[in-house]
């Protein structure tokens, strides 16, 4: 399903960012951040996985303390601990 089909309120489409833009422009390089909904069903997969991929590709240094509201799925934990 296309993203434009999933967003019912079309006025919000102009504020949706792609994950790479969020990593480059929003995620701080050194700070404490938090993600909610880390249980298996609500795991926020796109941004954390994009962050891990960005770091692997660019070798840019991030010094982040990441807090979650619960346990994360093994694949997410693996990518965040690299």
pLDDT digits (tens, 9 = 90+) for 18-57: 889 999 999 999 999 887 655 555 566 688 888 989 999 9
Place of tokens 């609500």: 42
Q: What is the overall mean pLDDT for the chain?
A: 82
- The CA R_g of the chain, rounded to the nearest whole Å, is 14
Cβ 33 vs Cβ 24: under 8 Å: no
Cβ 80 vs Cβ 72: under 8 Å: yes
Q: Which of 42, 47, 10, 41 is nearest to 28 (CA)?
A: 47
pTM, rounded to two decimals: 0.72
Cβ 27 vs Cβ 34: under 8 Å: no
């Amino acid at each position: 399903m296309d993203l434009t089909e999933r967003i019912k309120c079309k006025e919000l489409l102009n504020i949706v960012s792609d994950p790479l833009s969020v990593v480059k422009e929003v995620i701080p390089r050194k700070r404490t951040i938090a993600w909610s909904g880390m249980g298996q069903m609500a795991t926020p997969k796109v941004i954390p996985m994009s962050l891990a991929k960005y770091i692997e590709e660019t070798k840019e240094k991030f010094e982040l303390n990441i807090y979650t509201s619960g346990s994360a799925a093994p694949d997410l934990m693996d990518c965040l601990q690299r």
